[in-house]
Amino acid sequence: MLKNILKSEFSRNVMTLLTGSAIAQFIPLLLTPVLSRLFSPEEFGLFAFYYTLVSFFLVIATGRYELAILLPKKDKEAINVMGLAILLSGILSIFLFLALFIFKIPIQNLLGKPDLNQWLYLIPVCVFVGSGYKVLTYWSNRKKRFKGTSISVVTQATLRSSTVFYFGLLKSGFFGLSVATITFFKEIFHKSYAVPVGVTELGIAGFILGYVIGFGSAFLTLIFAFIKNDRELLFQISRKQMKAMGIRYKKFPQINMFHAMTDEFKNSGVTLIISYVFSDIVLGLYSMTYRVLRAPLSVIGNSFSQVFLQKAAEMYANKQNYLPIIHKVTKKLATISLPFFILVMLFGSQIFEFILGDKWSTAGEYARYLSPWLFVQFVTAPITQIAVIIEKQKELFLISLINNAIIIGSLVVGGFVFNNILIGFAVLSILQIIYSIYLYKWILRVSKKAIEENQL
């Protein structure tokens, strides 16, 4: 029976999400060589800084209750978990807007990024549509509507990329030029073409509005699907039930939220160290490296991750052994990604220079050093969700603190001790390999024990 599940339902659901994710990632990936010539490294870096701010509030917006949507057996309970998550997101978004309105000048001075000042008011909007999209994605996966999830992913990527591309053409003066479209693109891909430098208002506008339009549209897509299929469940939402579910799954805000917050503090630390110790240019190069390396494989990783979480949670609830799925997913992800990362480690600089242009060859050098880290992260990321299912969030949180310390510590060594970011990346990759081996063994150990206890 298990063998049939792995070969039929699990694989079928993965393929459904994989198709949508492939299309969603193909669009920005296809545009990346163009965007790298229309936008400057500083603009990529400045948006990376802005996105770090949004991401921090995203992880606390819902109290991490969206992770609990998959766990209740009854939809009546799950819908109240979903309602609670969206309510918390709305409250935080309103609070952020008021804080930005009242303390506008002190916040702008604290950030020290004047080019972002007029865009700070969109942070609450980004947080609400981003967190709302996450919540409804978990609901869609609970109902096994992976096709609907896939459509929303494509919608998000298409509109987000299209908006950024449009603003890139706008800032380059494309619409006011008399040259043919083919001639324009030939010119920007010519070796003599000078990649833009500095930050422009249209440049940063494209990235931020692209985020709002992309995730806002995907959010609406899932809302329409929910109304079509599950609107009768809205009458099951009550203040009493939301409170009951909030207490029942209190570990999510108590542990998972703080876990996610420390991860975002880590991400913020990476951004701040690179931005202030080195420069926004270096941050832009790092951002492009991370974007290019993650984009192709996140197509596969996200698809496996979402289906794996749903299936493992279902099997655990039914007292089944999910260890074979852990081994299967890990092996498949390693097999798929290893050739890609080996290629990047050997020819990173040449690949980036050829695809993105001469100015981005340094990003390719970064990619060579970061590949081992991103490889082990890609392979182990889906299975860490097991901790949520078997309620080992606290233990995983403590282990993750070691991971965060490794990442920040490595960059501190590279930035403050050697003043060489490549040394920091090298230390980071070596330590991450050791950490990931330990994490994988820990997941297997606690899973085996939880399965044995669950089957008693």
pLDDT digits (tens, 9 = 90+) for 233-289: 999 999 999 999 999 988 888 877 777 778 777 877 787 788 777 877 888 888 888
Mean pLDDT, all residues of the chain:
85
In this prediction, residues 420-447 reach a mean pLDDT of: 92
CA 92 vs CA 17, 128, 178, 211, 326: distances in Å: 30, 8, 48, 19, 36
Say if residue 426's pLDDT is above 50. yes
In this prediction, residues 325-338 reach a mean pLDDT of: 86
- The type of residue at 68 is A
In this prediction, residues 72-77 reach a mean pLDDT of: 89
pLDDT of residue 120: 94
Q: Which residues contact 61 (CB under 8 A, 6 or more apart)?
A: 88, 89, 92, 93, 127, 128, 130, 131
Q: By percentage, how much of the chain surpasses pLDDT 70?
A: 91
Say if residue 297's pLDDT is above 90. no
Strand (E) or helix (H) holding 246: helix 239-248
Q: Picking from 12-21, 82-91, 260-269, 377-386, which range would have the lowest pLDDT averaged per residue? A: 12-21
pLDDT of residue 1: 39
Q: Picking from 9-23, 193-207, 228-242, 277-291, which range would have the lowest pLDDT averaged per residue? A: 9-23
| 3-class secondary structure per residue, 254-309 | HHHHHHHHHHHHHHHHHHHHHHHHHCHHHHHHHHHHHHHHHHHHHHHHHHHHHHHH
pLDDT of residue 3: 46
Higher pLDDT, 425 or 183: 425
Binned at pLDDT 50, 70 and 90, residue 16 comes out as low
Placement of tokens 């380059």 in the chain: 172
pLDDT of residue 17: 57
Rounded to 5 degrees, what are φ and ψ at 172?
-85, -5
Higher pLDDT, 313 or 162: 162
Q: Picking from 164-168, 179-183, 196-200, 430-434, which range would have the lowest pLDDT averaged per residue? A: 179-183
Contact yes or no for 184/50 (Cβ under 8 A): no
Q: Count of CB atoms within 10 A of residue 319's CB?
A: 10
pLDDT of residue 30: 79
Contact yes or no for 270/404 (Cβ under 8 A): no
